[in-house]
Structure 1
Amino acid sequence: MPATVRQVENALALLEFFAARKRPATLADVAGHFGWPRSSTFNLLATLAEGGWLYEPRARGGYYPTPRWQALAGEIAEGEPAPERLAALVRRISAQTGETAWASAPSGQHAVFLEVAESEAGIRYAARQGARVPIHLTASGQALLSQMPERDREAILRKAGFEVRGPAAARDLAEVRAQIAAGRARGWFRSASYWSADLGGVSIPVAVEGRVFSLTVAGPLFRVAEKEEAHARLLHRAVAEAFGADHAARTLTAMHVLT
Structure 2
Amino acid sequence: MPALSPTTNRTMAVFEIFAREKRALSNSDMARLLSVADSSCTDLLHTLHVLGYLIRTPRTRRFYPSGRLYETARQIAENDPLTSVAQEAVDQLLEKTNESAYFGVLQSTTVKIVAAQQSRHPLRYIIDVGSRIPLHASSLGKAMLGLLPTDELPATVEKLSMEQYTPDTVVDVKRLLEEVERSRALGWYEGRSEAAEGVSGLAVSGWLSGLPVGISLGGPIDRIDRNRDKYLEALHEVRNSLLSDN
TM-score by length of 2: 0.64
Distance of 1:102 and 1:206 partners within structure 2: 14
- Indicate yes or no: 2:226 matched with 1:205: no
Pairs within 5 Å for 1:208-227? 208-227=208-227
The aligned residue for residue 228 of structure 1 is 228
Code of the residue aligned with 1:219 in structure 2: it is G
Partner of 1:47: none
Residue 88 of structure 2 is matched in structure 1 by: 88
Deviations 1:109-135 (A, max 9, x none): 211111000112111011110111111
Show CA shifts across 1:121-158 (max 9, x none): 11101111011111122110111111123465334311
In the alignment, does 2:195 pair up with 1:195? yes
The one-letter amino acid of 2:214's match is: S
1:43-96: CA deviation from partner (whole Å, max 9, x where unpaired): xxxxxxxxxxxxxxxxxxxxxxxxxxxxxxxxxxxx996341232121110121
Determine the C-alpha separation between the residues in 2 that align with 1:106 and 1:89: 16
Q: Distance in 1 between matches of 2:186 and 2:194?
A: 18
Alpha carbons of structure 1 residues 165 and 128: separation in structure 2 relative to 1, 3 Å: same
Query: In 1, distance between residues paired with 2:229 and 2:181?
Result: 17
Structure 2 residue 176 is matched with structure 1 residue 166 = no
Task: Determine the structure 1 residue equivalent to 2:178.
Answer: 178
Q: Where do residues 1-259 of structure 1 align in structure 2 (5 Å cutoff)? A: 1=6, 5=10, 82-150=82-150, 152-240=152-240, 242-243=241-242, 248=244, 251-252=245-246
Q: Per-residue deviation at 1:211? A: 1.5
Runs of 4+ in structure 1 off by over 4 angstroms are: none
**SS of match in other structure, 1:154:** helix
What RMSD over aligned residues (CA atoms) do the two structures have, in Å?
2.8
The answer on whether the counterparts of 1:105 and 1:213 sit within 8 Å (CA) in structure 2 is yes
TM-score of the superposed pair, with normalisation by structure 1: 0.61
Gapped regions of structure 1 (runs ≥ 5): 9-78, 253-259
Structure showing greater Rg = 2
**Maintained 8 Å contact 2:136/2:171:** no
Give percent identity, aligned residues only: 19
Q: Which runs of 5+ in 2 are unaligned?
A: 1-5, 14-76
Q: Which amino acid aligns with 1:237?
A: E
- Residues 153, 5 of structure 1: CA spacing in aligned structure 2 closer, same or farther, 3 A cutoff? farther
Residues 182 and 92 of structure 1: CA distance in aligned 2, closer, same or farther (over 3 Å) = same
CA offset digits 1:171-193 (Å, max 9, x no partner): 31111101101111111000110
